[in-house]
Amino acid sequence: MKRNSSKKESKNVRHLRRPFRSAGPAIKSNRAVSEVIGYVIIFGIVMLSIGMIYAVGFPVLRSSTDATQFQSIEQGFLILQTDLFKVALDQAPVRTTKLGTAEGGSLRTDPAACNLTIEITHSGTRVNHSILMGNIEFNSRVGSVACENGAVVVKYQAGSVMLSNPRMFNSTDQGDILFSLVKINDSCSSFGGGIAQVTISNPRFNESVFNTPAVYQNGELRLKFESRYADAWGRFISDEFDTTFDPTTGWSGDIPFNELVIVEYIVSVDVG
């Protein structure tokens, strides 16, 4: 009886040892799986980082580049304004300005832009003069900048500002007002992404509204600007001529003058 029991015990012991023997290879296999999972996690982190760079970092970098290029274009329009006045005031017959334009933008001239209406009351009469001033404008993803009526105006998503004032002066002490109006009557365009040449010259034709110079004595005037940059023009006129604008009609208040002098210039512009 004892011999049989010992044999049974040895068999049971051998049977119990089998799971422990098979556990060795299973543990080694788990280690291999854990290494693969680690590589997958690291690869996922790398891909996620690259995705975040493209999703967040690249648009920020592109926006910063566009803003830098747009600031350069603004400076170029200040030079363009100087050349515009040199030709308008007969200081030079022709001036060519080179503008570095941003990719994806467009440079154009529009003779129908910036409609200026001047209402003059003097000697018991009231006359209205509506003048299409035209402009030279560059549009991009950041905003737009234009030279119209001799001023440099910039438009962003939040609104427009005047970067450089036109030749419109008010002598409050003497009550004298001077308007130097600069008209652009040409229509042309060019795509951005390179160097554009803007050539300003004497006009091929003359369509004057006023007998330059036109002089008016002892009266009042009102102004109205119809332009993409009307809010910038409104702030300039309000500050320079101490008036306000009616938001409903777009007309300024009455601006008194002892003497009003209006000088009109016409220039020809070509964009290439």
Q: How far from chain centre, in Å, is Cα 262?
A: 31
Residues with Cβ within 8 Å of residue 187, at least 6 apart in sequence? 108, 109, 110, 111
Per domain, the residue ranges of the chain are 75-271
In 10 A of CB 78, how many CB atoms?
A: 13
Q: What is the largest CA-CA distance in the chain?
A: 145
**More reliable by pLDDT, 179 or 104:** 179
| For residue 201, pLDDT beyond 80 | yes
**What is the enclosing helix (H) or strand (E) of 147?**
strand 144-148
pLDDT value of residue 20: 47
Nearest of 126, 106, 90 to residue 265 by alpha carbon: 90
Tens digit of pLDDT for each residue in 73-131?
Answer: 899 999 999 999 999 988 888 999 988 877 778 899 999 999 999 999 988 899 999 99
- 26: phi then psi, degrees, rounded to nearest 5: -65, -40
Question: Which residues sit opposite 95 in a β-bridge?
Answer: 200
Residues with Cβ within 8 Å of residue 87, at least 6 apart in sequence? 93, 94, 95, 200, 201, 202, 267
pLDDT value of residue 154: 95
Tens digit of pLDDT for each residue in 221-261?
Answer: 999 999 999 999 999 999 999 999 999 999 999 999 999 99
Lowest mean pLDDT among 131-140, 142-151, 184-193, 225-234: 184-193
Question: What whole-number distance in Å separates Cα of residue 146 and Cα of residue 99?
Answer: 13
The rounded mean pLDDT for the chain is 82
Tens digit of pLDDT for each residue in 17-72?
Answer: 555 455 445 455 555 556 667 777 777 777 776 676 666 554 554 566 667 788 88
In angstroms, the Cα distances linking 66 to 123, 189, 205, 264 are: 53, 21, 38, 36
| For residue 188, pLDDT beyond 80 | yes
